[in-house]
Copies of this chain bind each other. A is one copy, B any other.
Amino acid sequence: MSEINQENLTPTQRSQIKRVPQRGNYEREVIYQILDEGLICHVGFAIDNQPYVIPTAYGRVDDQLYIHGSPASRMLRSLQTGIEVCLTVTLLDGLVLARSAYHHSMNYRSVVIFGTAALVKDAEEKLAALQAFTDHVIPKRWEEVRPPNRQELQGTLVLSLPLTEASAKVRTGPPLDDEADYTLPVWAGVVPLKLVAGEAIADSRSIEQIPTQVRNYTR
């Protein structure tokens, strides 16, 4: 997607993984791969200690994560004021079925980012962010579509969140049962899960051939 800064992130009080710390990871490469594979994030913010968690699309350019929306959006209006944000991306990779109810789990890869977001005012950065949103969903889509006109640009707010305080958490592999439970007559293992594309559905006025990257879409 873009260049990777090789320097790892330093865990902070907020971003350090405290529960099952061996699943924590602070490598930029790991964090960016999860962000680039995901399609939606959950943006958390608080107004007078009232939390809100809003799902939204995002894009990444180098060490910045971008979100966007309407100038009327409560989320964007709130974040613009510089309040703290917690943005989380989660990929579900499998169901972990153990012999005991207690040891059931899930395989996943998640990233949690902390920081404050800033309104992108620079026209060039804003356009690059909008391209990143589109190409994040389908590579090279930006080249094919009509770019935003002046009115659409004015009608879109873009906010940037620096990727400086973040951590990944990853679980992989089979269930881990208590030793005594391995003799129980219970099947145990993993059901892998994947977000899979079905056959693309052209809209009723579509006159063009379906592009290769749409036909063979994989994540």
Tell me the A residues contacting B by CB distance below 8 Å.
Answer: 14, 18-19, 39-40, 42-46, 48-55, 57, 69-70, 72-74, 83-88, 90, 92, 95, 97-102, 104, 106, 108, 110, 112, 130-131, 133-134, 137-138, 141-142, 144-149, 152, 156, 174-175, 181-182, 184-211, 214, 217
Complex CA gap A22/B114 in Å reads 32
Complex CA gap A181/B147 in Å reads 11
Complex CA gap A192/B219 in Å reads 12
User: If A55-B110, A148-B100 touch, does A42 touch B194 (CB 8 Å cutoff)?
Assistant: no
Task: Check A210 against B197 for contact (C-beta < 8 Å).
Answer: no
SS of A interface (majority): mixed
Beyond known contacts A40-B106, A188-B206, A193-B196: 12 more, CB 8 A cutoff: A19-B70, A44-B51, A48-B49, A49-B49, A51-B51, A101-B145, A101-B148, A138-B191, A174-B203, A189-B202, A191-B197, A191-B217
For this chain, the copies found in one complex come to: 2
The minimal Cβ–Cβ distance linking A113 to chain B, given in whole angstroms, is 10
Q: List 23 A-B contacts (CB under 8 A).
A: A19-B69, A40-B90, A40-B106, A42-B53, A42-B90, A46-B51, A50-B86, A51-B51, A53-B53, A53-B87, A55-B88, A97-B141, A97-B214, A102-B148, A104-B137, A145-B186, A188-B205, A189-B200, A189-B202, A189-B210, A192-B198, A194-B195, A195-B195
